[in-house]
Amino acid sequence: MDGKPTKRLRTSIACKKCRASKQRCEGGNPCSNCSHRGLQCEPERTPQHRAHSAQIGDNYEIQFDLPLVARAITTKLLDRYFAVIAPHWRIIEKEDLQQTPYVPPLLLRSICLLSAHLAGTAEKDLTENIAESIRQCFDAHEMLCLPTVSSFKSMILLLASPLFSQSSIMTASACRMALTLGLHRPQHPHPELYWSCIVAARWQALKRSQNGAVGRLCFDLEKTPPETEPDRNSFFGAIYHLLAAADPNHTAPENSIPHPIGTEMSPGYPFKFGNLIRGSTLEQNPTLYSLLDLLQKYLSGSLSEADTAIMDVQRSLAFELNPFNQLSRVSMLR
């Protein structure tokens, strides 16, 4: 990055109650600690770290408690996220960033981390700085005790990063939190949250099984299938159904359309990938088709040396096959 040191995304986030009791504060209004204890949550800011506003997209204004020097960097990362990732993976809406007095720091950092990944090595220092700040404010035990939708979204986003995607503990934590928050219930207005959790769990389970690991990642998740499933004509829906086909424990909901490739596929079991997207809008998009084709080859155990060479461009196989980051990278480069 032109030889200049990257500005770190630092924040003074603790509310008055958390600061007084020396507890880690997640932010938000109220923060999870105050909400759990039934206390009035009052943000504490210093003159050096006042809340600043930024405008993203179509007249959406957000408040974040960051130093002024980081405002431009954060705004650029948010604009990139909503332009590239959000249209294909709708777990974060711009309204999520309009919380007062400011956006939960872990959620903001998680969004910025994925956005920074899109630039590859050009923003390597920035990516590492954001990841470091995430590790400083991320406390899995604390988040499990005080589950919030914001914390859940943060964990799911982090599982799309190569710096955190190897964490089976984080995946299991996200699964348990999803059930605790009731994201699996038929009346929940945002089923894509639970679908994302299932995608993360299936992906982690498939990687574990291919590495010789035994045991299921989250048995409770298997006992609580979703009432509906995403449209296979969307990129996310195609990813969901490909992983469902590779999961021997998957049972489609009663009201869903029968899966065109069946449910008996497992790694090493060949299947007709073309049936999944033939006639859909995905077939008309060479970029999406190539990404899905690479994933299905991996799931069916038919990766060639040429495919492996393509994946070597990324830092790890897990990142290259992660649907959201892979899509984002190709979208930015074409």
Same domain? For 111 and 163 the reply is no
Same domain? For 174 and 295 the reply is yes
| Bridge partners, residue 53, by sequence | 63
Same domain? For 221 and 274 the reply is yes
Whole-number pLDDT of residue 49? 41
Sign of the torsion formed by the C-alpha atoms of 303, 306, 310 and 315: positive
Same domain? For 35 and 176 the reply is no
pLDDT grade, residue 26 (50/70/90)?
low
Asked if residue 187 is part of any domain, the answer here is yes
Same domain? For 29 and 89 the reply is yes
User: What are the residue ranges of helices labelled H in 89-185?
Assistant: 105-117, 124-137, 140-145, 149-158, 168-180
The candidate with the shortest Cα–Cα distance to 174, out of 192, 157, 191, is 157
DSSP of 64-95, one letter per residue? E---HHHHHHHHHHHHHHHHHTTTT-TT--GG
Asked if residue 231 is part of any domain, the answer here is yes
Instruction: Give Cα separations from 276 to 200, 222, 245, 281 (angstroms).
Output: 20, 23, 11, 11
Q: What is the per-residue pLDDT across 227-278, written as a single tens digit (0 to 9) for each?
A: 888 887 787 887 888 777 777 666 656 544 433 333 333 333 334 444 555 5
Same domain? For 89 and 180 the reply is no
| Bridge partners, residue 60, by sequence | 56
More confident residue, 238 or 1: 238
330: three-class secondary structure by DSSP: helix
Asked if residue 58 is part of any domain, the answer here is yes
Number of domains in the chain: 2
Residue 252: DSSP 8-state: -
Same domain? For 177 and 324 the reply is yes
State the amino acid at position 239 in one-letter form: I
Instruction: Give Cα separations from 63 to 43, 99, 136 (angstroms).
Output: 13, 7, 21
Out of 87, 107, 137, a domain closes at: 137
Asked if residue 186 is part of any domain, the answer here is yes
Same domain? For 60 and 187 the reply is no
What are the structure tokens assigned to 211, written together? 């590495």
Q: What is the per-residue pLDDT across 169-194, written as a single tens digit (0 to 9) for each?
A: 888 888 889 999 999 998 889 999 99
Asked if residue 253 is part of any domain, the answer here is yes
Same domain? For 102 and 188 the reply is no
Asked if residue 19 is part of any domain, the answer here is yes
pTM: 0.70
Asked if residue 227 is part of any domain, the answer here is yes
- The whole domain housing 205 covers 159-334
Same domain? For 128 and 166 the reply is no
> How large is the angle between the packed helices 168-180 and 191-210, nearest 10 degrees?
150
What are the structure tokens assigned to 314, written together? 């990324």
